[in-house]
Structure formats: structure tokens, C-alpha cells
Amino acid sequence: MKLIKVLVLFGGPSSEHEVSLMSTDSVLKQIDKKKFEVIPVGITPEGLFQMYEKQNQIQAGTWKGFEQPRFEYGAHRKAITLIPGEPSLMIHHQDHSEKLAVDVALPILHGPYGEDGVLQGLLEACQIPYVGAGVMTSALAMDKAMTKKLFETEKISQTPYQVVYLESKTPVDTNVLEVLEQSLNYPMFVKPARLGSSVGISKASNRLELETALRKAAGHDRKVVVEAFVDGREIECAVLGHHRHPKTALPAEIIPSREFYDYEDKYLAGKSDFEIPAKLSTKDTETVQELAIQVYQLLECKGLARVDFFLDRKTGGWLVNEINTMPGFTKISMYPKMWEASGIAYGELISILIEEALEHWKE
């Protein structure tokens, strides 16, 4: 049987570069080598594409098998360029170049450049089928401020919020602080509008903490989302497939080991507890799955996404938090864990995503 050539892309200029490497480590270990020929291409923080030929040296359970914690430029690696209008790579050796056809791309990049439509647009221009959301959906879902406005228009319940624009090296205007305090009560959560993996997120319980949190978030993105605190259970739901006929996994509940589910808790400490399936009534389980599909279809997703919710402890109402169109795929990431609890093993999930991407491209 002819193997399907899968271009696995990882790394990138985003501050979520390390998360990408951790996800890639897991995927390269679990992908079915009897079905797929893996072509791993790393993208450096500067945006250079290079062949990564040492995938078997990645250590179990960590991304440190890469030569550096970040995928940095290596003169010993072959440079890669993509060819517009042709589903092929050009591999550049020292004395010659060769063309290599690819069948499909699996972009395992999180955050800007990889998850915001930029890479998806490049793959579209090169006529390469790819796993995950398209250009429009990726760009929209990456921007928390825009998705919140869309949810508001569609009357989908969510946490009260404000959007502010800041410069990272400029003091926060007192008027901005006053507006936030008048519209949202302490504590508040402050986050960059166009990042994921809980990068740059802070909780603020007073004005000094709010100003510090705004400066921190603005260091990642001049557009900042500020949300009201919700005393709620954190429930996540995994969605799989084309937006016309998606399916959901059993939802999960996150029980953070820290004050909130931050970057360290998600990817480094691994101390958070979780329950899969979440301890919900049959009605609540069905409600959150229906809401996840509603959000997924609203944004016209395909491939995969994880939709995050709060279940308000006081009212029992559901609030949409955000959608992630390229959720983490590490050994402790919730998206594959939810599907595993729903009967789809990690390796099988990767195969489904690749095969569906090829089917959707044909359509």
C-alpha cells in the first residue's frame, strides 16, 4: 500500500512555539507509520522552514529531544521552500535541490502565524490539503475580541467583557482603568486577544494588579480582552469533523491546581486534576455538546476544535469562554484525552483528522 505523505509543520514565530514542539513530539510518536510517511518540517522563530530529520531521537514525554528547547536554525539542516500552485516541497541541499510531492499537511502550530490563518493561506496557495480550520475561521477564532462580538450578535451567553487597545511600553491611561472598574467588578481576567495556551493571562483583584496585568498582556498583543470573573466550573468539549456534520466527545472538567488554569499548569506542572467525563447531568451533558456544535458551526470550523465553557455555580447557566481551532496535542492535553474517553485512541484520532482533511479537500 502506498503511504500517504504527511507534511508535519511545527514551531513558528509564536510565543506558543514550545507548546507546538511538545504537541509534535506526541504526534510523531503516535502517528500510524503503516499508513503515513511523515515529512517533519520545523519553522524557526524567525520563520525559516527546515527539514527535521531526527524525529526518532525525541525523548519520551518531552520535547527536549530537539537540539534546542526551541526549533532554532541549524546550518546542518536542509532548507525547505513551498511551491505556490503545486503540492510539493523544494528541498535544498548544499549542491542541488530536489522536489518532493506531499499529499496533505498537518500543521501543529499554536497561536499567531500557525493558527490564525497565515499558514493556512500559504497552504491554500500551494494547493496542499491540510488538517484544521480554513483561513477565515482560523483568523476569526484566533481573535477573542472578534469571536466575543460574534457570540454577542448571535445571543450566545458569555462572560461580561471589555476590549482595550494598549501599547506595551506606554503607561496605562487612568481613564481605561476607570472604565474597566465601572463596567466590570474585581477580580478580572486580562488576556491578549490573539494568543492561546493561557500565555499572557493574569488575574487582577485591584487597580495595581489590573495595570500590571494590562501591561503584561499588551506585551503580547496591543488588543487586550478583559473579562469579569465567573464562579464557575471549567468544562471543555472536543469537536471533530466538518461543520456540516460534526460530532462531540464526552465533555471534561478541569480542576486547576493553581488559582486558575495557566500555562504552567497546562503544559509543565501537569498537576491539575480533571474528570472525563465531567460529572454532569444527562441534560447538562447534552446542553454543552449542543452549544459546542453551535459555536463550531457558527465559525464554520472543520477538522477539530475545543470549545471551553463555564458552568455558573450560582445560576446553573452555561457561558461560552472561547474556541481553540488547534488545541494542544501533548500527552496531557485535554482534546485527545476527551476523545480517548469517548472511544477514539490518540493514534486513531490523528488518522481520522488526516483522512478527513483529504476527503474535505476533494469536496
Would you mind telling me the total number of residues written for the chain in this entry? 363
pLDDT of res. 272: 67
CATH number of 161-228, picked from 3.40.250.10, 3.30.430.20, 3.30.1490.20, 3.40.50.300: 3.30.1490.20
pLDDT of res. 25: 87
pLDDT of res. 58: 40
List of residues 6+ apart from 70 with CB closer than 8 A:
11, 17, 18, 21, 44, 45
pLDDT of res. 64: 53
List of residues 6+ apart from 201 with CB closer than 8 A:
189, 190, 191, 192, 217, 260, 262, 263
- CATH no. of 4-130: 3.40.50.20
Contact call for residues 27 and 108 (beta carbons, < 8 A): yes
Domain locations in the chain as residue ranges? 4-130, 141-158+230-362, 161-228
DSSP 257-321: SSSS--HIIIIII---EEESS-S--HHHHHHHHHHHHHHHHHTT--SEEEEEEEEETTT--EEEE
Give the chain's residues under pLDDT 70.
55-68, 196-197, 257-272
pLDDT of res. 66: 63
Gyration radius from the chain CA atoms: 21
pLDDT of res. 59: 41
pLDDT of res. 256: 78
The Cα 54–Cα 56 span in angstroms is 5
Alpha helices in 64-143 (DSSP H): 118-125, 135-142
The Cα 196–Cα 328 span in angstroms is 10
Contact call for residues 116 and 139 (beta carbons, < 8 A): yes
**At 352, which helix (H) or strand (E)?**
helix 346-362
Q: Kindly tell me the number of DSSP H helices and DSSP E strands found in the chain.
A: 10, 17
The Cα 130–Cα 85 span in angstroms is 15
Report which of 203, 162, 206, 200 is spatially closest to residue 180, judged by C-alpha positions: 162
Q: Which residue has the cell 501533548?
A: 330
- CATH no. of 141-158+230-362: 3.30.470.20
The Cα 139–Cα 189 span in angstroms is 23
Same fold across 4-130 and 141-158+230-362: no
The Cα 168–Cα 143 span in angstroms is 18
